[in-house]
């Protein structure tokens, strides 16, 4: 079997952990790797300790070719640069960055909790819980809008429930939209999670400044029903019993296939959640 550069890199990290010597040197601090945490589409994540003994997570890209004009390289750098801009209680917190060999790495806070998917499957879903999730995601989206950042993959897997607070993680798909534009179209880039990401994004690679609003409707619906949204008419019929309540208004006006049919003003959605529509 031929090992790829990534296989060799991962093997070196794991061997270093076994010997207790693997240390990532960041711009602000040094981090001692303690173990493997998870693997995603774009990176491997390790548990580590900073110099004061605080637990953090380190994300190392699976593919990164220094000096090569590769879209994957750009996305790795974009995640780091975007997360640096963000400080909000409903978003994972940036800690540090650095380079280990030829690969950049990202240090993030370790969030203690479970994914929205795990919460729905193992704990509970209810109107109260869905309201809490919706409120947190609206607040996060309002903040992201001020930074011109679109996450593109807010889903049941990328929200962690920690002390009853929803926190959005994994900015590997995030993109910043320039001030003079309201959208970008990325050729061949249909990124997101089916049933949760905006249709224009999954079908055409088009990303609007407000595309995450579709995901707001999707995760709210999921938190309310325990079901993934599939078809608008079927989904709305499923929650008709909530017709006079704020979540019905929010879901029915955001979980729309056509962007033109959605309410895209977050202040309207926030007011509706407070019963002021």
Residue ranges per structural domain of the chain: 15-109, 114-273
> Measured between alpha carbons, how far is 116 from 13 in angstroms, rounded to an integer?
30
Give residue 244's region: left, alpha or beta (phi > 0; psi -120 to 50): alpha
CATH class held by domain 15-109: alpha beta
* pLDDT confidence tier of residue 2, bands split at 50, 70 and 90: very low
Three-class SS state of 108: strand
pLDDT in tens, 199-240: 999 988 899 999 999 999 999 999 999 999 988 888 889 999
How far is CA 48 from its chain centroid? 21
pLDDT tens for 29-61 read: 999 999 999 987 778 999 999 999 999 999 988
Calpha distance 231→97 (Å, rounded): 41
- Of 47, 62, 58, the closest CA to residue 7 belongs to 62
According to DSSP, the β-strands at 114-115 and 94-100 are unpaired
Question: Residue 110 gets which letter from DSSP?
Answer: P
Q: How confident is the model at residue 197 (pLDDT cuts 50, 70, 90)?
A: very high
| Per-residue pLDDT band at 1 (split at 50, 70, 90) | very low
Give this prediction's pTM. 0.89
Q: What per-residue confidence (pLDDT) applies to 8?
A: 43
Pairwise CA distance, residues 7 & 269, whole Å: 46
114-273 adopts what CATH topology?
Transferase(Phosphotransferase); domain 1 (1.10.510)
Contact 35, 18 (CB under 8 A): no
φ, ψ (nearest 5 deg) of residue 114: -130, 160
Interval 84-95 mean pLDDT: 97
Q: How confident is the model at residue 265 (pLDDT cuts 50, 70, 90)?
A: very high
Contact 82, 134 (CB under 8 A): no
Q: Is pLDDT at 277 greater than 70 in this prediction?
A: no
| DSSP-derived secondary structure letter, 258 | S
Model confidence at 13: pLDDT above 80: no
CA dist., res. 79 & res. 97, Å (int): 11
Q: Where are the beta strands (DSSP E) in the chain?
A: 23-25, 30-39, 43-49, 55-61, 94-100, 103-109, 114-115, 149-150, 159-162, 165-168, 175-176, 183-185, 206-208
- Of residues 161 and 42, more confidence is placed in 161
Beta bridge partners, 159, equal: 168
């Amino acid at each position: 079997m031929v090992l790829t550069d990534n296989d060799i890199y991962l093997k070196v990290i794991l061997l270093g952990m076994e010997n207790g010597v693997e240390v990532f040197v960041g711009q602000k601090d040094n981090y001692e790797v303690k173990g493997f945490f998870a693997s995603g589409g774009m990176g491997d994540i390790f548990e580590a300790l900073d110099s004061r003994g605080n637990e953090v997570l380190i994300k190392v890209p699976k593919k990164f070719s220094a000096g090569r004009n590769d879209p994957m390289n750009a996305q790795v750098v974009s995640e780091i640069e975007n997360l640096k801009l963000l400080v909000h209680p409903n978003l994972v917190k940036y800690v540090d960055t650095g380079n280990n060999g030829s690969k950049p790495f990202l240090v993030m806070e370790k969030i203690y909790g479970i994914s929205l998917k795990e919460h729905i499957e193992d704990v509970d879903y209810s109107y109260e819980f869905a309201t809490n999730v919706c409120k947190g995601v609206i607040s996060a989206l309002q903040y992201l809008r001020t930074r011109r950042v679109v996450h593109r993959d807010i889903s049941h897997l990328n929200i962690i429930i920690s002390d009853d607070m929803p926190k959005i993680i994994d900015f590997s798909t995030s993109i910043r939209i320039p001030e003079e534009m309201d959208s970008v179209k990325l050729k061949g880039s249909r990124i997101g999670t089916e049933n949760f990401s905006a249709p224009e994004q999954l079908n055409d690679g088009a990303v609007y400044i407000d595309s995450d609003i579709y995901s707001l409707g999707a995760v709210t619906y999921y938190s309310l029903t325990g079901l993934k949204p599939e078809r608008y008419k079927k989904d709305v019929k499923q929650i008709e019993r909530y017709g006079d309540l704020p979540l019905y208004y929010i879901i029915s006006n955001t979980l729309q296939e056509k962007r033109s049919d959605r309410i895209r003003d977050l202040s309207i959605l926030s007011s509706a959640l407070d019963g002021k529509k």
